[in-house]
Chain A
Amino acid sequence: MKVLTTWLREYLPGLNVSDRQLADDLTLRGIAVDGVFDLNGAAGADLGANDSLFEMDITTNRVDAMNHYGIAREAATIYGLMLNPLETLLPAAKPGPGHPVRIEEPALCGRFTARVLRGIRVQPSAGIIAQRFALLEQKLISNAVDATNYVMLAIGQPTHAFDLDKIEGAIVIRRARKGERLKTLDEIERTLDPEDLIVADEKKPLALAGVMGGWDSRITPETTNVLVEAAWFDQISIRRASKRHLLHTDASHRFERGADFNAPPVASAMVSRFLLESGGHIEGDFIDVVIPEVEARTATRSSISFAVSEVRRILGPTDDPEGITASTAEGILAGLGCGLQAQAGEIYDVTLPSWRLDLEREIDLIEEVARVYGYNRFRNTLPAFAGSVVELPWAEKESVVRHTLLALGWTEAISSTFCAAADAELFAPQPNSAVAMGNPLNEEAGMLRPSLLPGMVNMLALNLNRDVEDAALYEMGTAFSGSTEKVDERPALAIGATGRAFGSADVDFYDLKGSLESLLAKFASRSLYFDALLLPAWLHPGRSARAALDGSTVAYFGQLHPAEAERRKLKQPVYVGEIYLDRLYKQALGQPVARELSRYQAVRRDYSLLFPDSVSWAAIEQALNGLNLVELRSFAPSEVLRDAKSERIPAGHFSLLLGAVFQSNERTLREEELQQFSRRVIDALEAVGGKLRAG
């Protein structure tokens, strides 16, 4: 909102601080001035200039300060100044009855005033209105319309001027009838909703009450007779109408935040004064229909009890050792327009100003005291605390997972919470479990992500498209499932890698498997195994696996299905995996236990064998583990050759160079023992189909 300081100063003749100072003081009291622009145009800005434009950011609860008079009122409180009264004196009216007004919805329209002006001349605004509107960059329309806008900027009360000659009979404030239509001032023909509150005459709707006037009864250059409306409308009703018609206006903005019940007669007088400057006269009585029930819950709402002890309990000590005294609080509240009646023991009975509907409770008054006193005059203290810090049960596991992945060379990324419907279907762990959004951000974000994989694949694609060809990313976050009735959330982890992310060779299945093995080794369970059962559709059926810990699936990973990669136009293979953190978090973290180290020599033996392709490493591993040979410390494939071109490897076979390490904790192994161990190893390998190669 834009505010002119010369306009503010018109209401505050005693104000003798600079605009810059005024801006700071208002801001410190919550009436935020975001920018100060010197209107004298002097570049470099004269700090003492008192002719500025303030760009203001008024919080939604302070509708009373969304106008010049309201801001001046705040300044008056800050500096203890008197506020000039508003000019509302009008010439005498030509006697006669006023225009009839009938409120049919007293709960929604608490007050309606109507004044008839005849013989006025519609012409361009001049004088102070034209001058100030120019500075505010407010569009000038005509003296009649500009006057209503000016008054709203001055005191915050919306008003409306009707062409009286377009009104047929009494003014009726009622709900719209089904199917009724109204062309509003924005020239849009609207079908009214039976919930809409309208200002009508005996025949037709005239205006969408509190939101926008009607086109047909608008002021035109031919208008000579005017009916000035100033009213009080219910907040919620106006807000709903504004939302329903997607019509947010200066008027609706103020009404829906709670207007001043006492303002309509003042506003009506101010508007009329401006209009009569171009000639004409007031005709008939001023009509002011007041609904007492509404008045009783707004302007004359019950007083509230205010205890100074509560101020101290909630706000605490100030830099001034005296703290906030009863007289300080009294001064502040009285300055804001409250009436204070002292009761026993620093307790007051406080009546509340009509323009501050946001003040309802004792805490509201405590806030006012803190605000006007100055937040920065309170001391900085730290509360005593004797409790203990409770970690989330999975906090340590989350940290271990994160730091293991980082150490293994995976970079953390964060992607969208939403995904496209096709991706949701493809990557959801359970079919038909993805949840749709009602108002998606865009077409590609129609679903809550059922897995972090849609984001992961998109991020890999983005990197490839930007010629980042080597990437290893992970994301930890929430995945969603269930239905639009009930949404379940689970902690999830996705990994994805492509190119030479881990060194000189292209990422392959075993890079992912190795990372998973390292990661899962952090957990206590030693029952990790891999198989290729029930692989999801997003994985390459021959280069992917499931990882299970204690029989529970903790991950699926492998090469992204080539068809998917092609559909996404990925220029190189990508490897992805989903790790079910919810299941992993059920596992305990491993507790390292030191074991005895052997003092005796370790002996390495290599065995070169030929195996039919049908023999898996798992079978070899199982065969050797089945020996239960404690001296066989470790064994691993040192070289695998499947090259069919090699003459030394028959078709359908592979050669394996197996390295084994023998060691005893009790003694140095003797040659005869080693020979015997080797024999058993070879026998076991031959039993699963191996053939020892010569040399």
Chain B
Amino acid sequence: MSEDAIPQLSGYSEAELDRAFAAISREVAASAAGLQTPEAVEQFRLQWVGRKQGRLKAISDAWLKSAPASAKKLIGQRFNTLKAEIEQRLDAADSTKHDGAFHADAIDITFPGGRRNPGSEHPLIKTLNELVAIFQRMGYSVGVGPEVETDYYNFESLNFPPGHPARDTQDTLVVANQDRKPLRDRLIMRTHTSPVQIHTMEQQPPPVRIVIPGKVHRNDAADATHSPIFHQLEGLCVDDNITFSDLKGTLDHAMKELFGSSVKTRFFPSFFPFTEPSADVQISCPFCGGKGCRKCKYSGWIELLGCGMVDPSVFGFVAQKQPAYDPKMISGFAFGMGIDRIAMMKYGITDISLMYSGDLRFLEQFA
């Protein structure tokens, strides 16, 4: 039987029609057997559904057109089924063709990605911003002050009298050629951020709520935990009703925000010339939950900051310019913490000098 020959229908009964269509279907299946190449697929498509020579059209012409009206519906149904079968085979052959081609284009997805690295925030700046944000949520504004200070603002107005042994704890780096000036006017690198307390109060009557982040300098020998350059965050809160309990509550809250709500604080008497009473604050070790680990030297506690109630003498110095700071009428607290220490603790940094080295191998860990 030639391909082109369309067999004659033997009759129009359903059984006869089924037989005739089944024969064609077998022919379709046979010619679809080798659809592996695009050429074969095209050949199959032309053979069966080609617009002019397609066998489907020939069948339609031969069987449907000449059929009696009563049989047209029966032939039409079977014809549609046959057409769907041919299209399905074409579709299948087509998708095989495409996927095959795509597989040939496959890439090695295990190669490294074209990574675009943003820069890394410095761990100190990251910690500093976190701390500032905590206090901003508690109503604190942010202040700044100069890194080069006069002796008056760095020491005297903070109740470190000239010649006082408390000055020994903060060895200063001094600007050249200061010897001829009166002591109070001599320029030094600020040894703490506390002078900004004085500047702030001189400029602004109470109430004051301010945090002051900044760089400070001391003439100290460098080692793994000490750097002559380091950073502090200072806080000051003054109003007509501020108590030591408020100081405790404020720092307790801030430490819980920074290290998690399960952290506890405890306060020890200490000494700072510009606060009285003065306290050192310890937090329960956030790494071991207070059980004792390497980070807390197995004590369960870590000393983190110094604080106290603003000493009336400090208000006295401020009142020379801003009389509203009358220690009989107002009170306040101040606190200060070393940002470097907190950052070192948070990120497990063991050598403070790395933070001031610019060594990219260190910095890029904090991306």
Q: Nearest residue in B to A239 (C-beta to C-beta)?
A: B163
**Residue with the greatest number of chain B CB neighbours at <10 A, chosen from A385, A408, A462:** A385
Is A437 on the interface with B (CB-CB < 8 A)? Answer: yes
Chain A proximity mask over B90-127: 1 for CB below 8 Å, otherwise 0: 00000000000000000000000000111111101100
Is A480 on the interface with B (CB-CB < 8 A)? Answer: yes
Is A409 on the interface with B (CB-CB < 8 A)? Answer: yes
Complex partner residue of A472 from B119, B136, B143, B276, CB under 8 angstroms: B119
Is A313 on the interface with B (CB-CB < 8 A)? Answer: yes
Q: Nearest residue in B to A59 (C-beta to C-beta)?
A: B271
Contacts A383-B250, A391-B142: A437 and B245 contacting too (C-beta < 8 A)? no
Q: Nearest residue in B to A390 (C-beta to C-beta)?
A: B141
Complex partner residue of A363 from B121, B252, B276, CB under 8 angstroms: B276
Residues of chain B lying within 8 A (CB to CB) of residue A409:
116-119
> Taking the nearest CB of chain A, how far is it from the CB of B192, in angstroms?
15
Cβ-defined contact, B148 with A410, below 8 A: no
Cβ-defined contact, A314 with B271, below 8 A: no
Q: Nearest residue in B to A475 (C-beta to C-beta)?
A: B358
Chain B proximity mask over A217-245: 1 for CB below 8 Å, otherwise 0: 00000000000000000011001100000
Cβ-defined contact, A441 with B228, below 8 A: yes
> Taking the nearest CB of chain B, how far is it from the CB of A499, in angstroms?
10
Contacts A239-B165, A370-B244: A30 and B125 contacting too (C-beta < 8 A)? no
Inter-chain CA distance A417–B276, complex, in Å, is 33
Contacts A439-B174, A462-B357: A316 and B363 contacting too (C-beta < 8 A)? no
Inter-chain CA distance A406–B122, complex, in Å, is 10
Is A86 on the interface with B (CB-CB < 8 A)? Answer: no
Cβ-defined contact, B118 with A385, below 8 A: no
Contacts A375-B267, A382-B253, A435-B175: A387 and B215 contacting too (C-beta < 8 A)? no
Chain B proximity mask over A382-406: 1 for CB below 8 Å, otherwise 0: 1101011111100100000010011
Residues of chain A lying within 8 A (CB to CB) of residue B322:
none
Cβ-defined contact, B120 with A411, below 8 A: yes
Chain A proximity mask over B351-367: 1 for CB below 8 Å, otherwise 0: 00001111111011001
Residues of chain A lying within 8 A (CB to CB) of residue B242:
383
Residues of chain B lying within 8 A (CB to CB) of residue A438:
173-178
User: Which residues of chain B in 133-153 are interfacial with respect to chain A, using CB atoms and an 8 Å cutoff?
Assistant: 136, 138-144, 146-148
> Taking the nearest CB of chain A, how far is it from the CB of B278, in angstroms?
8
Is A118 on the interface with B (CB-CB < 8 A)? Answer: no
Residues of chain B lying within 8 A (CB to CB) of residue A375:
244, 248, 266-269, 277, 279
The segment out of A463-471, A636-644, A648-656, A677-685 that lies at the interface is A463-471
Cβ-defined contact, B122 with A407, below 8 A: no
Is B10 on the interface with A (CB-CB < 8 A)? Answer: no
Inter-chain CA distance A637–B367, complex, in Å, is 34
Residues of chain B lying within 8 A (CB to CB) of residue A62:
271
Contacts A313-B331, A458-B358: A381 and B249 contacting too (C-beta < 8 A)? yes
Chain B proximity mask over A429-451: 1 for CB below 8 Å, otherwise 0: 00000011111110000001000
Cβ-defined contact, A487 with B148, below 8 A: yes
Inter-chain CA distance A314–B364, complex, in Å, is 47
Cβ-defined contact, A376 with B249, below 8 A: no
Chain A: interface residue count, which band?
35 or more
Contacts A239-B165, A414-B122, A484-B187: A316 and B268 contacting too (C-beta < 8 A)? no
Cβ-defined contact, A414 with B355, below 8 A: yes
Residues of chain B lying within 8 A (CB to CB) of residue A480:
147-148
> Taking the nearest CB of chain B, how far is it from the CB of A166, in angstroms?
32
Is A419 on the interface with B (CB-CB < 8 A)? Answer: no
Chain A proximity mask over B160-172: 1 for CB below 8 Å, otherwise 0: 0001011011000
Residues of chain B lying within 8 A (CB to CB) of residue A27:
268
Inter-chain CA distance A651–B119, complex, in Å, is 42
Cβ-defined contact, B144 with A381, below 8 A: no
Q: Nearest residue in B to A366 (C-beta to C-beta)?
A: B277
Cβ-defined contact, B174 with A240, below 8 A: no
Cβ-defined contact, B356 with A408, below 8 A: no
Cβ-defined contact, B311 with A363, below 8 A: yes
Cβ-defined contact, A413 with B187, below 8 A: no
Residues of chain A lying within 8 A (CB to CB) of residue B245:
315-318, 378-381
Q: Nearest residue in B to A417 (C-beta to C-beta)?
A: B229
**Residue with the greatest number of chain B CB neighbours at <10 A, chosen from A235, A366, A375, A460:** A375
Is A214 on the interface with B (CB-CB < 8 A)? Answer: no
Is A32 on the interface with B (CB-CB < 8 A)? Answer: yes
Cβ-defined contact, A406 with B118, below 8 A: yes
Cβ-defined contact, B358 with A463, below 8 A: yes
Inter-chain CA distance A402–B125, complex, in Å, is 10
Complex partner residue of B252 from A380, A390, A448, CB under 8 angstroms: A380
Residues of chain A lying within 8 A (CB to CB) of residue B173:
437-441
> Taking the nearest CB of chain A, how far is it from the CB of B243, in angstroms?
3
Cβ-defined contact, B165 with A257, below 8 A: yes
Complex partner residue of B142 from A392, A407, A408, A466, CB under 8 angstroms: A392
Is A168 on the interface with B (CB-CB < 8 A)? Answer: no
Residues of chain B lying within 8 A (CB to CB) of residue A363:
276, 309, 311-312
Residues of chain A lying within 8 A (CB to CB) of residue B125:
402, 412, 414
Is A613 on the interface with B (CB-CB < 8 A)? Answer: no
Residues of chain A lying within 8 A (CB to CB) of residue B119:
405-412, 472, 474
Inter-chain CA distance A376–B215, complex, in Å, is 31
Q: Nearest residue in B to A399 (C-beta to C-beta)?
A: B129
Complex partner residue of B163 from A240, A313, A408, CB under 8 angstroms: A240
Is A39 on the interface with B (CB-CB < 8 A)? Answer: no
> Taking the nearest CB of chain A, how far is it from the CB of B177, in angstroms?
4
Q: Nearest residue in B to A484 (C-beta to C-beta)?
A: B177
Is B237 on the interface with A (CB-CB < 8 A)? Answer: yes
Is B66 on the interface with A (CB-CB < 8 A)? Answer: no
Complex partner residue of B309 from A314, A414, A463, CB under 8 angstroms: A314
> Taking the nearest CB of chain B, how far is it from the CB of A654, in angstroms?
30
> Taking the nearest CB of chain B, how far is it from the CB of A24, in angstroms?
11
Q: Nearest residue in A to B231 (C-beta to C-beta)?
A: A414
Residues of chain A lying within 8 A (CB to CB) of residue B124:
414
Chain A proximity mask over B248-265: 1 for CB below 8 Å, otherwise 0: 111011000000000001
Residues of chain B lying within 8 A (CB to CB) of residue A239:
163, 165
Cβ-defined contact, A256 with B248, below 8 A: no
Complex partner residue of A411 from B178, B241, B276, B360, CB under 8 angstroms: B360
Inter-chain CA distance A438–B178, complex, in Å, is 8
**Residue with the greatest number of chain B CB neighbours at <10 A, chosen from A62, A412, A471:** A412
Chain A proximity mask over B222-248: 1 for CB below 8 Å, otherwise 0: 000000110000000101011111101
Is A587 on the interface with B (CB-CB < 8 A)? Answer: no
Contacts A363-B312, A484-B175: A316 and B358 contacting too (C-beta < 8 A)? no
A382-B249, A412-B121, A463-B360 are known; give 17 further A-B pairs, CB within 8 A: A314-B309, A366-B277, A375-B244, A375-B268, A375-B279, A376-B267, A381-B243, A411-B364, A417-B229, A437-B175, A439-B173, A441-B228, A456-B358, A480-B147, A484-B176, A484-B177, A487-B148
The 10 closest A-B pairs by CB, nearest first: A30-B269, A459-B358, A316-B243, A316-B245, A59-B271, A380-B249, A375-B267, A367-B277, A436-B176, A413-B358
**What are 6 of the A-B contact pairs (CB < 8 Å)?**
A59-B271, A314-B331, A367-B277, A367-B278, A435-B176, A441-B228
**B-contacting residues of A (Cβ < 8 Å)?**
27-30, 32, 59-62, 235-236, 239-240, 256-257, 313-318, 361, 363-364, 366-367, 370-371, 375-376, 378-383, 385, 387-392, 395, 402, 405-417, 435-441, 448, 455-456, 458-460, 462-463, 466, 468, 471-475, 477-478, 480, 484, 487, 489
